[in-house]
Chain A
Amino acid sequence: MMEADSPTWRVPPRWVLLVAVLMIVLAEVGGGAMARFKVELTRWARDGMLARPSVHGLVGVRDVDERILDEALVKFDAGLRLFHMHAEGMGLVIIATSMVAATVIRRAAARRTIIALLTTGGAGYPVGYLAWSALIPSYGLERSKTIAEWLVWVPFGTATIVALWCLAGLVAWTMISRNRA
Chain B
Amino acid sequence: MSGTVRRPPLGVVLVALVMLALGETAGAAMSRLKPEIQRYAAARIAANPGAHGFSGSAEYDDEVRDRAIFTAEAGLSFFHLHGEGVGLVLFFASALVAAVVPGRRARAVLYVLLTLGGLFPLGYLVYGAAVLEMGRDAGIELAERRVLTPLGVSAIAGLVGVWLALVRRRA
Contacts and interface: CB of A to CB of B under 8 A. Distances in A.
Contacts, number: 66
Q: How big is chain B's contact interface, by range?
A: 20 to 34
Contact of B84 (A89, A172, A178): A89
A171 interface: yes
A7 to B, nearest CB: 6
Residue of B7, B16, B28, B31 ringed by the most chain A CB atoms within 10 A: B7
A174 interface: yes
Nearest to A92: B88
A73 interface: no
A104 B10 contact: yes
A157 B24 CA distance: 8
18 contacts: A7-B9, A8-B5, A8-B7, A9-B6, A9-B7, A89-B84, A89-B85, A89-B88, A96-B16, A96-B20, A96-B88, A153-B31, A157-B27, A161-B21, A164-B17, A165-B25, A168-B17, A171-B10
Interface of A: 6-9, 89, 92-93, 96-97, 100, 103-104, 149, 153, 157-158, 160-161, 164-165, 167-168, 171-172, 174-175, 178
**4 cross-chain pairs, A with B, having the tightest CB-CB distances, nearest first:** A164-B21, A8-B4, A168-B17, A96-B91
